């Protein structure tokens, strides 16, 4: 299996459990790894035979900008569901960074991996 990755995608959204977090947009940073087989795309040189990472980025930007979850865990699950279901990806790894959420820490967030069952 091959991996198409997208790193450092910064998106502004409402995220957090504290009252002040519900009133401002904060930046989350997404790093994605998406499993695929690139052989057909490489042979055809056709974007239709691979994961269009620009389309993935645009979809996630739209979704995340318009979301307002309390937990990064919920946001992460929803993001991976979109990738698995809308882009026919069998496996995805997501690092969701809520940079600056903890004073003194440069990064804080969550790493999840999700895959489709072989039966769909």
> 120 in a domain, yes or no?
no
Give 118's pLDDT tier (boundaries 50, 70, 90).
low
Reported as type and span, the H/E element at residue 3 is strand 2-15
CA distances from residue 48 to 24, 33, 38, 42, 52 in whole angstroms, order as listed: 38, 19, 11, 11, 8
Mean pLDDT, residues 80-92: 96
Catalytic residue (choose from 40, 98, 99, 116): 98
Q: What's the whole-number average pLDDT of the chain?
A: 94
The parent domain of residue 49 ranges over: 2-115
Nearest CA-CA partner of 112 in 91, 85, 98: 91
40 is catalytic: no
Mean pLDDT (whole number) for 54-76: 97
Residue 59 inside a domain? The answer is yes
Rounded Cα–Cα distance for residues 36 and 4 (Å): 7
Domain containing residue 67: CATH number: 3.30.1130.10
Q: pLDDT tens across 20-40, in order?
A: 999 999 999 999 999 999 999
Q: Whole-model pTM? A: 0.92
């Amino acid at each position: 299996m091959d991996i198409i990755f997208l790193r450092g995608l910064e998106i502004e959204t409402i995220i957090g459990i504290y009252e002040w977090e519900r009133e401002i947009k904060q930046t989350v940073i997404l790093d994605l790894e998406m499993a695929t087989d690139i052989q057909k795309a490489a042979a055809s040189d056709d974007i239709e035979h691979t994961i269009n990472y620009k389309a993935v980025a645009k979809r996630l930007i739209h979704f995340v900008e318009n979301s307002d979850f309390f937990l990064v865990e919920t946001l992460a699950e929803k993001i991976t569901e979109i990738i698995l279901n809308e882009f026919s990806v069998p496996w995805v790894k997501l690092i969701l960074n809520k940079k600056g959420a903890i004073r003194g820490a440069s990064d804080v967030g969550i790493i999840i991996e999700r895959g489709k069952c072989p039966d769909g």
